[in-house]
Amino acid sequence: MRNLPTNPDRIAEDISDLAAITEPDHPYTRRAFTPMFLAGRSYLERRFEKAGLKIRIDAAGNLIGHRPGKKPGLGTILLGSHSDTVPDGGRYDGIAGVSAALEVARALHDQDVQLDHDLEIVDFLAEEVSIFGVSCIGSRGMIGLVPPDWLTRTSGDLTLEQGIADVGGHPQVSEKRTDIKAFLELHIEQGPVLEDKKLDIGVVTAIAGITRIEIVVDGRADHAGTTPMGSRRDALTAAARLVLAIEQLASQLAEGPAHFAATVGEFRIEPNAANVVPSRAVMLIDARAENRADMERFCEAVDALALEVADETDCSVARPRRISDNQPTPCDPDLLKVLDAACEATGARHRRMASGAGHDTAWMARATKAAMIFIPCLGGRSHAPEESAKTEDIALGAAVLLEAVKTLDKQLQEAK
């Protein structure tokens, strides 16, 4: 065991106490804007206060704990993640990062260290896709990037505007923080790489861009018993060729140096009846790329595949349509160096890697220097009750953050 400046017992307590605040039949569920979420928030408020932090809810509905620096006006170093969960989610997604950030503040208190910069710990509101169908509401809000028409979105009788107000925010105030000099987030990897390679920390180079592409294949409905095999226009078998070709294409791109993954995650056929040749297949591709060039190559290849399959079969394939298209977000190169060095100083075995999942860091990166680290999780499982991570690994990650924060506290001033 390493001799760490951070305390695994306090982290274990944060996490098990929060895990107990869940919809009873759905561990671990604390969806943003629900009473369970608010109960989790009041627990966190008590923990923040116990750590000597001055708490507030910002306009966007984020919970913030403030630790003043020695040099007022120098700016803020911000650490944090999110405490909301997906339905039937895990104990660690987001929560590990809030606890680790809080632990940094507690360790500074233990060491009697006052930074020059202000330090703030944040629990972002609604990182996961919320009951309003949108995600990263708090991190977007902190930097003034919540689309105004989102406020009128509803879930039952509740508007997002009212939801943010109920959490304690001021949805009509457009916050746009300019004092934040750096943002760091710890998160569980949600994949198997660190565990497989027996590493402690992944220093995240970029958060993959996500592009979703819809493909519609049209054939002809016919009697499944009487239509000869050679004279069918089966939309499903044509679509199946596409699915397999997309898998192959994605596997080839994934062999390159940058992260790439693509999944046909949604698929439906019509009329979906045992005795009818399928007349239509609709699929949705979710593609994720660390490099925009890979995504462009993928999209071009998918267009070509669609033409090819239409050519080889008697079905028609509509031109693949990009439903949504987000650019990848690189993490700040200076922060990556600071994090690598912090891993070395802490004795953490580390590597650089991209994030295939979206995170609040991707939004913060639009307004300030931002970066994140991953810690291993059991079997790479996430968004499931089985999600698991070791408290010692989180404590080590928190120690890396602590080291990085101390370095940044000096370095950000020299950079001026």
355/391 with CB nearer Zn ion? 355
- The two structure tokens encoding residue 3: 């001799």
HSE-CB at 31 with a 13 A cutoff on CA atoms is 16
Give the total of residues touching Zn ion (CB under 5 A): 2
Q: What is the 3-state secondary structure (H, E, C) of 50-88?
A: HCCCEEEECCCCCEEEEECCCCCCCCEEEEEEECCCCCC
In the complex, minimum distance from the CB of residue 190 to Zn ion, in angstroms, rounded to a whole number: 8
Q: Is 316 in a helix, a strand, or coil?
A: strand
Pick one of 75, 94, 219, 278: the residue that binds Zn ion (CB under 5 A): 94
In the complex, minimum distance from the CB of residue 360 to Zn ion, in angstroms, rounded to a whole number: 8
In the complex, minimum distance from the CB of residue 207 to Zn ion, in angstroms, rounded to a whole number: 12
Pick one of 14, 84, 93, 120: the residue that binds Zn ion (CB under 5 A): 93
Q: DSSP string spanning 238-263?
A: HHHHHHHHHHHHHHHHHTSSS-EEEE
28/298 with CB nearer Zn ion? 28
In the complex, minimum distance from the CB of residue 90 to Zn ion, in angstroms, rounded to a whole number: 9
In the complex, minimum distance from the CB of residue 82 to Zn ion, in angstroms, rounded to a whole number: 6
122/217 with CB nearer Zn ion? 122
The CA–CA distances, whole Å, from 178 to 173, 214, 369 equal 15, 38, 11
CA-CA distance, 354 to 77, in Å (whole number)? 23
Stretches 24-32, 87-95, 233-241, 271-279: which one binds Zn ion (CB under 5 A)? 87-95
Peptide bond into 92 cis (omega under 30): no
- The two structure tokens encoding residue 31: 């969806």
In the complex, minimum distance from the CB of residue 265 to Zn ion, in angstroms, rounded to a whole number: 19
95/253 with CB nearer Zn ion? 95
In the complex, minimum distance from the CB of residue 41 to Zn ion, in angstroms, rounded to a whole number: 16
207/242 with CB nearer Zn ion? 207
Stretches 21-29, 91-99, 233-241, 402-410: which one binds Zn ion (CB under 5 A)? 91-99
Nearest by Cα to 200 from 14, 347, 94, 10: 347
Q: Is 189 in the site for Zn ion (CB under 5 A)?
A: no
94/191 with CB nearer Zn ion? 94
335/362 with CB nearer Zn ion? 362
User: Of all residues in this chain, which one has the CB nearest to Zn ion in the complex?
Assistant: 94
HSE-CB at 66 with a 13 A cutoff on CA atoms is 14
94/171 with CB nearer Zn ion? 94
Q: DSSP string spanning 165-203?
A: HHHT--TTS------EEEEEEEEE-SSSHHHHTT-SEEE
Instruction: Give me the 42-81 binding string for Zn ion, x by CB under 5 A, dash otherwise.
Output: ----------------------------------------
| Binding positions for Zn ion, rule: CB under 5 A | 93-94
